[in-house]
A and B are shown apart, each in its own frame.
Chain A
Amino acid sequence: DQQVKQNSPSLSVQEGRISILNCDYTNSMFDYFLWYKKYPAEGPTFLISISSIKDKNEDGRFTVFLNKSAKHLSLHIVPSQPGDSAVYFCAATSRDGATNKLIFGSGTLLAVQP
């Protein structure tokens, strides 16, 4: 049973518009959430994170929103640029304990059209 779900395998947006990537989770013990970006033939790279004590975190063009009651988070990219075209993975973890294993979603392929 997937604990972190990204239900949209792909998304296409026009350059300059907003991209919204969604993620749902089932485990109420998760208290820290991250987004990773992955280009072909490269490893994932960290993009932005949010703690469960917040409902929004912003870093430049990237904003992550967390709705704990709905167990839902989203990544907003404004404005979208062609260089943002990549696979985006949502990940979640519980920060108590020593291991802090990240559980990943299946990813969303974002294509930003010039």
Chain B
Amino acid sequence: NAGVTQTPKFQVLKTGQSMTLQCAQDMNHNSMYWYRQDPGMGLRLIYYSASEGTTDKGEVPNGYNVSRLNKREFSLRLESAAPSQTSVYFCASRLGQLSGYGYTFGSGTRLTVV
């Protein structure tokens, strides 16, 4: 099915470990986004890529890095995980100028850092 695919769905890390969250979309969308969802905080933008070859910081970029590998894939890396990064991470994409349906989201990665 067309859409946004995130892997893994669940992950437990120890403090200080590193990992990469993968995101891929098959809708030929130009822009891709990484959000985190925390209780009472809603969805907060970590990083985004307006088009292939560009990346920019969002509201909460500290502790993360991203790579826009190609038009389809946008990965999020935690170099040294901290308990404060325990969250649910969502990747999203959109075609171009904002249309009526906004973003398409993946189903999320639930990350726990112990």
Chain A contact residues: helix, strand, loop or mixed? loop
A46 in contact with B40 (CB, 8 Å): no
By a beta-carbon cutoff of 8 Å, the part of chain A in contact with chain B is: 4, 6, 9, 32, 34, 36, 41-46, 49, 89, 91, 93, 95, 98-107
Give, as a whole number of angstroms, the nearest-CB distance from B111 to chain A: 14
| Residue among A41, A43, A107 with the highest chain B CB neighbour number at 10 A | A43
A100 in contact with B43 (CB, 8 Å): no
By a beta-carbon cutoff of 8 Å, the part of chain B in contact with chain A is: 4, 31, 33, 35, 40-45, 48, 50-51, 56, 58, 90, 92, 94, 97-98, 100-108
- Which of chain A's residues has its CB closest to B6's CB? A43
By a CB distance below 8 angstroms, the chain B residues around A43 are 4, 90, 92, 105-108
